[in-house]
Amino acid sequence: MNHQQTIPTLASLSYIPYLDDNGAICEDIQKKIGVYSIFDQDKILQFVGYSRDIYLSLKQHLVRQPNNCYWLKLQTIERPSRSILESIRESWITENGTIPTGNQSEPSIWSKSIDAKPAMTEEEKAQYNQSDELRKTKILKQVARRVEAGIKEQLRDRGVNMDIRFNPKLKEQGLLDLK
């Protein structure tokens, strides 16, 4: 898409199921550059983003927001151009009439690593506060693994059937992000 071409309206694009019949994100979009919009079960726009690899971004969003990722619309471009990607994103948000919650009040829960620390029990917090660095790391890993198990269960309940691996190094900091 070059600057002379018009930006497709969100309304003109077809809804694509987030997960295919096998419980996976369509692999045809791996390594594709573009803009995507994510909708919940009721086809209410939740988030508009852009990426150099739409597939990887959609996988991250699914892990972070499994109950808000049911439908998508996307537009790919051949060569990376932040200005083109941003103008498509802005156009779609404007067309929507309201800023999706994922772009407004909650962008970090859509785009940042999952912080497992808020899931610490009172006992874990007390242990953590009285521990040396090595013990703190072990406690954070333990909490991260518990949060990870909950996420994987939610994804199974959604019918997700893809390999989901979290970065083990980040667990030591109490964070979860896909590898």
In 7-161, the DSSP E strands lie at 16-17, 33-39, 45-51, 71-77, 114-115
CA–CA dist 64, 111 (Å, integer) = 8
**Do both 89 and 120 map to the same domain?**
no
Q: What tokens does 140 get?
A: 């954070």
Domain count, the chain: 2
The lowest-confidence range among 89-93, 104-108, 160-164 is: 104-108
**Do both 138 and 170 map to the same domain?**
yes
**Do both 18 and 104 map to the same domain?**
yes
What pairing do the DSSP bridges indicate for beta strands 33-39 and 114-115?
A: unpaired
CA–CA dist 176, 112 (Å, integer) = 9
**Do both 106 and 118 map to the same domain?**
no
Q: What is the pLDDT of residue 73?
A: 98
| 4 part of a folded domain | no
Residue 3 has pLDDT above 60, yes or no: no
Q: What is the pLDDT of residue 5?
A: 58
Angle of helix 133-157 relative to helix 54-64, nearest 10 degrees, comes to 100
**Do both 90 and 126 map to the same domain?**
no
Residue 160 has pLDDT above 80, yes or no: yes
Residue 29 has pLDDT above 80, yes or no: yes
Angle of helix 122-129 relative to helix 133-157, nearest 10 degrees, comes to 150
**Do both 76 and 161 map to the same domain?**
no
CA–CA dist 167, 21 (Å, integer) = 27
Print the domain residue range for 149: 114-176
Residue 161 has pLDDT above 70, yes or no: yes
